[in-house]
Amino acid sequence: MITSVLVANRGEIACRIFRTCGELGIRTVAVHSDADANALHVRVADTAVRLPGAAPAETYLRGDLIVKAALAAGADAVHPGYGFLSENAGFARAVLDAGLLWIGPPPEAIEAMASKTRAKQLMGLAPLDAARVTEADLPVLVKAAAGGGGRGMRIVRRLDDLPDALEGARAEAAGAFGDGEVFVEPYIENGRHVEVQILADTHGTVLPLGTRDCSLQRRHQKVIEEAPAPGLPAALTEELYELAVRAARSVSYVGAGTVEFLVADGRAHFLEMNTRLQVEHPVTEAVFGIDLVAEQIRVAEGRPLEAGPRRAHGHAVEARLYAEDPARDWAPQTGTLHRLAVPPGVRLDTGYTDGDEIGVHYDPMLAKVVAHAPTRAEALRRLAGALERTELHGPVTNRDLLVRSLRHEEFTAVRMDTGFYDRHLAGLTESAPDPLAPLAAALADAHGRSRFGGWRNVPAQPQVKRYEMAGEEHEVRYRHTREGLAADGVRVVHADARLVVLEVDGVRRKFEIARYGDQVHVNTARLTALPRFPDPAAQLAPGSLLAPMPGTVVRVAEGLSEGAAVTGGQPLIWLEAMKMQHQISAPVTGTLTALHAKPGQQVEPGLLLAVVQPT
């Protein structure tokens, strides 16, 4: 029997595994980088061991240090979670060689399936030869052979772009997984991403635990997932089950795993097998009423699974909350997460609590929110409503995008595919600011500022405040009167520092206010209080390229120097932040008049990287 588990991971998945361990009476051990010294997964574990450094390559990707940590802390088993070393056969062997239990599949199965090139060969498929790709093969997908989560992937539509795509994918994969191997395969446009959860024991039982649809993706990384995959014909579902079981049996698989497919034109195309727990496993848990982590632990202890098909109940949908700005090319965001609270009735898996810092070193996912209901329509409504009412104060997130996606007619009618955001992102991120939010912010700020309530027995002069909201500047005016605060065209029913109630044309609306320095949250709107008089020193020259996020300059375009002619859209600088590479392109066609970025340089948001003077 396992008595103590070290989780070789961080954040949300470590916290989720610790929760099950606690329920089973198993002690928990966390590992952490210096950047994660005060992270939630460290705080909730019974024991924690430091991995010196901050970058994944020197901490969470150091299998030797993690094995030493397990032995030092007295753990008798290791759970890899997902990402990092979860699909690294060498790490699994090192754990077993140290006399520890490995809560995962045999190293041989990982080796066979974790490399996507070898997995395709097992399923009778072969990747393209990168050196022989022709125009007729386009579009193609460059893909990391190890790992997942959208890292190390590039779509190539022009042959001239293939060398850069290969180089960028290799660098990103090496940084995220410690393995820079990539391969090329045909890219199937507008298919649905469907997967099968499997669970296998050491006694020959392999169970398919339903399907999941994960078609809504950005940068090949899933955003919304659901179970079961809606609208699939029964015959196709059975075919997916058979292929998934066949893949598992072909490598003598043990534990939880996922076999992924692209469904297009009524056919299933094998993508890969993930030899680990998936991020989206909670939707399967919800509809089958099981705990997959508990099942993993029981299998690792050698206990048999209950044979026979499992029955699903209802429908479950999961949305991933990211600290990122979808309207700005999904740019990751950092800063303090002041408040994260979801309403009752949904499941929240997170690695953050109020006051935690969102840093630059790791994935920008804040949490997963899961709704379960008797029908798909009810589950979608429940999740969208819960997200809309979630208190989420801090950096910009994708919350509004998630709510709009869940309510989009193409998604509700099950007409979605992996190109959903390519088609609809502009509409889903279109600014729709609440016109009353700035006034509510101003009235809350004005409450109690004066010892005498602000009223004088003379004609009141309007007070003016300015806010930035959704990229636009808003100026609001209000007055102090004998009856209290007032504004034209609006009746102020109530106003204090946290709650403002306004009435327009007989309709009352409530606004909940939270302020953190210059940042103001009004219901779901995020505002920035502006100074009364703009700082003239803040003006920038046209064509200035600013760092959109904190990160590291990993590359500058070859041969680029001041005085060079550039064209609009030409890639100039590459930043690495939160395990992803982000390309910064020339905003206009012109001449590069200044270049400040250098490879290896650490940058903060708003730092001037280069200037392109328009032609």
Q: What is the pLDDT of residues 282-307, one digit of tens each?
A: 999 999 999 999 999 999 999 999 87
- pLDDT beyond 50 at 451: no
The predicted-structure confidence for 345-382, as pLDDT tens digits, reads as follows 999 999 999 999 999 889 899 999 999 999 999 999 99
The predicted-structure confidence for 123-172, as pLDDT tens digits, reads as follows 877 778 888 899 988 989 898 887 666 778 898 999 999 999 999 899 88
Residues of the chain with CATH 2.40.50.100: 539-614
Residues of the chain with CATH 3.30.700.40: 437-530
Q: Measured between alpha carbons, how far is 266 from 233 in angstroms, rounded to an integer?
A: 9
Structural contact between residues 275 and 110, judged by C-beta atoms closer than 8 angstroms:
yes
Annotated active-site residue 276? The verdict is yes
Topology of domain 437-530 in CATH is: Glycoprotein, Type 4 Pilin (3.30.700)
Structural contact between residues 41 and 110, judged by C-beta atoms closer than 8 angstroms:
no
Q: How far is CA 361 from CA 47, 176, 355, in A?
A: 23, 11, 18
Share of the chain above pLDDT 90, in %: 72
In Å, how far from its chain's centre is CA 276? 18
Q: Measured between alpha carbons, how far is 431 from 437 in angstroms, rounded to an integer?
A: 14
The predicted-structure confidence for 1-52, as pLDDT tens digits, reads as follows 999 999 999 999 999 999 999 999 999 999 999 999 999 999 999 999 999 9
- Assign 89 to helix, strand or coil: helix
Residues of the chain with CATH 3.30.1490.20: 114-186
Q: Which helix (H) or strand (E) holds 477?
A: strand 472-481
- DSSP labels, 568-582: TT-EEEEEEETTEEE
Lowest-pLDDT choice from 71-75, 163-167, 316-320, 343-347? 163-167
Q: Measured between alpha carbons, how far is 613 from 170 in angstroms, rounded to an integer?
A: 33
Predicted confidence at residue 539, as pLDDT, reads 61
Catalytic residue among 27, 218, 276, 555: 276
Helix and strand counts by DSSP (H, E) for the chain:
15, 38
The single-letter DSSP state of residue 487 is: B
Residues of the chain with CATH 3.30.470.20: 192-428
Taking the chain, what is the end-to-end CA distance rounded to the nearest angstrom?
71
User: Which CATH number, 3.30.470.20, 3.40.640.10, 3.10.105.10, 2.160.20.10, labels domain 192-428?
Assistant: 3.30.470.20
Topology of domain 114-186 in CATH is: Dna Ligase; domain 1 (3.30.1490)
What average pLDDT does the chain have?
A: 92
- pLDDT beyond 90 at 458: no
Residues of the chain with CATH 3.40.50.20: 4-103
Q: Measured between alpha carbons, how far is 147 from 274 in angstroms, rounded to an integer?
A: 8
Domain at 4-103: CATH code? 3.40.50.20
Average pLDDT of the residues in 316-333: 95
- DSSP labels, 384-441: HHHHHH-EEESS--SHHHHHHHHT-HHHHTT---TTHHHHHHHHHT-----TTHHHHH
Q: Would the CA dihedral through 307, 308, 309, 310 be positive or negative?
A: negative
Predicted confidence at residue 254, as pLDDT, reads 97
- Name the class of domain 539-614: mainly beta
Task: Please choose, from the candidates 615, 56, 20, the residue with its C-alpha nearest in 3D space to the C-alpha of residue 349.
Answer: 20
The predicted-structure confidence for 242-263, as pLDDT tens digits, reads as follows 999 999 999 999 999 999 999 9
Predicted confidence at residue 536, as pLDDT, reads 53
Lowest-pLDDT choice from 82-96, 175-189, 323-337, 499-513? 175-189
Lowest-pLDDT choice from 413-422, 488-497, 514-523, 540-549? 540-549
Strand arrangement, sheet containing 101-102? 47-50, 27-32, 4-7, 77-79, 101-102
